[in-house]
A and B are shown apart, each in its own frame.
Chain A
Amino acid sequence: MTLLPWKREAQKPGPQTSAFEDLALPLLPALYNVASWLTRNPTDAEDLVQESFLKALRGFAGFETGTNFKAWIFRILRNTYLTSRTGLEATRTVALEDELDEQRVSGPGLYPEGAIDRQTPEVNLMRLADRAMLHGALEKLPPPLLEVILLCDVEEMKYKEIAVVLEIPIGTVMSRIARARTALRKTLQGQDTQPRERGA
C-alpha cells in the first residue's frame, strides 16, 4: 500500500518561519526580561514568552511588513500576560485605583509646579544609582506603571510605540510615565510611594 499523498517530507522551516525567527529571536532576551518583571516568577515568565512566541508565529501572516515588529510582538506578550492567571490577579488589584488616577491626572493642570521635586541633594543622586534600591522601587510600582517605564526606559521605545503596545492614547502614556517616575523618586527618597500629584 502506498501512502504517497501523505508522504512525510523532510522537516525544515518554511520561508515565513525563517523570516519570523529572524525578527523574533533577537528580541527574546528583552521579552523574557519584561515577562520576568511582570510575572515575578521564572517559570511563569518562560511560559509567557513561549506562549507569546507561538501566538506571534501563528499570527505572523497577519503582521504587516514594514510596520514595527517589536511593538507588535510586545503587544502580544502584554495581552498574553493580561489573560494569564498572574496578569488577571494584578489587573484586579490595581484596576480601580489606576482608573481613578487616570481620570484625575489626564485633565488640565496635570503637573502643578509643586509636583516637581527640585530638591536634589547628593544623597538622592546616589540613591538614583543604587541598583538594589532601583530594583526595590521598580518592584513597588503597580503593573500599569511598571510596564510603561520598562518599555520607555529599558526598551527605549518612543511614546508612539508604547501607545501601540499598551493600546492607550499617547497622553495616557505620558501621564503614566510621569506618575511612574514620581513614584520611583519618592520610593528612592524613602518617602511615601504615592505620586505627589495624587493629592494635588
Chain B
Amino acid sequence: MTEHISQADLNALADGELSPDQLAFVNDHLAACPACTSAALVQTLLKANIAKAGQRYAMPAGLEERLKRLATSDSSGRSRPSGRSAMAGWATAAAILLVISSGLILMLQGRRGAELAALEYQAQVSEVSDLHIATLAAGLGPQVVSSDRHTVKPWFQGKLPFSFNLPDNLPGDTKLDGADLTYLHNQPVAQLLYTIGRHRVSVFLTERRSGEPMDGKQSEHSGFKVTSVGVGDLDIVAVSDVDQARLAELVSLIRSVQAGAKA
C-alpha cells in the first residue's frame, strides 16, 4: 500500500459516499497511514463545522404563515371563480353590451373615431366604477389580504400576462389593503385596493391592447371620481369617492414606480 488516498476518496469518505469495497480499502489504508488519517480527520472536521456554520440564517417570523395564506388563496383562486369574479362577469357582460351598442350607434350615425374613443372611455369608466361599487357592496375581503407589496405583487404571478411594481412609500394616511384578480373586456386585470383616510380606492392595472393611452383623463361617474394614466403598455385607472387631487397623487405614485416592470 504505497499510494495515499486521493482527495476524491477523502471527500467521499467524509460524505459517506464510498461503496463497501472502497470503504474497506480506505479503512485498511488509514490504519497504516498517519498522513491520510490526519487528512481524513481534517476533512471530516471541516464538513462537520460547515454543517453548523452553514445554518446561519433563521427564517423570519411570519413568513411561514404568509406562505400558508398564499398557498390557500392561490389554490382557491385557481380552482374556481370567486364571488367578486361573478360580479365582474356581470359587469363585464354589461360593459361589452354597452360597447357593442355604442359601436352600432356610431356606425349608424357615421360619427368620427374620436367620438368612438370617447364612448369607449365612458364605457371603461362605467365598467370600472361598477366593479368598484361591486367591491364595496360585496363586503368581502380582498382575494389577497396584505399591506405588503412583496406579498401582493407575487400573488399575481401566473395570473396576469404582464407584471407591475407597487410603491413602497405611500402618503401618510394611504394604505394598501390587498388586491383582487378581476376582468375588464374579458382580460384579466389587477384590482389593487387602497384606503385613503376613510375612503376606499380601487386601482385597476390593465394591459393596453390597442389605442392611445388614457393619459391624464379625469371624470366622474355615479358620484365616484375616476383618474386614468398610461405608462408603457399599462393603463392605470383609479376609482374612489376621495377628492380628485388625492386620487391623482396615488395614481401618479403608482405610475412613477413602473419603470422596469415588463408589460
Contacts and interface: CB of A to CB of B under 8 A. Distances in A.
B10 interface: yes
B11 A46 contact: no
Interface residues of A, number: 64
Interface string A158-200: 1100000000000000100110011011000000000000000
Contacts, number: 173
A115 B4 CA distance: 12
A57 interface: yes
Nearest to B9: A111
By DSSP majority rule, is chain A's interface helix, strand, loop, or mixed? helix
B41 A120 contact: yes
B54 A33 contact: yes
Residue from A3, A12, A181 whose CB has the most chain B CB atoms within 10 Å: A181
Contact of A11 (B51, B58, B73, B89): B73
A76 interface: no
A33 to B, nearest CB: 5
Contacts of A131: 49, 52-53
B67 to A, nearest CB: 5
B223 interface: no
Contact of A185 (B4, B46, B51, B81): B46
Interface in B14-41: 15, 17, 35-36, 38-39, 41
A100 interface: no
Given A11-B72, A46-B150, A128-B49, A29 B59 contact: yes
A54 B70 contact: yes
Interface in B111-160: 140, 150-151, 154, 157-158
A16 interface: yes
Interface string A105-143: 000001101011110100011001101001100100000
Contact of B150 (A9, A50, A153): A50
B7 interface: yes
B42 A13 contact: no
Contacts of B80: 9
B63 interface: yes
Nearest to B33: A118
A149 B87 CA distance: 53
Contacts of A13: 71-72, 75-76
B108 interface: no
B51 A6 contact: no
Contacts of A128: 42, 45-46, 49
Contact of B50 (A45, A46, A153): A153
A37 interface: yes
A21 interface: yes
A14 B75 CA distance: 7
A123 B219 CA distance: 76
Contacts of B50: 134, 138, 149, 153-154, 184
Nearest to A152: B15
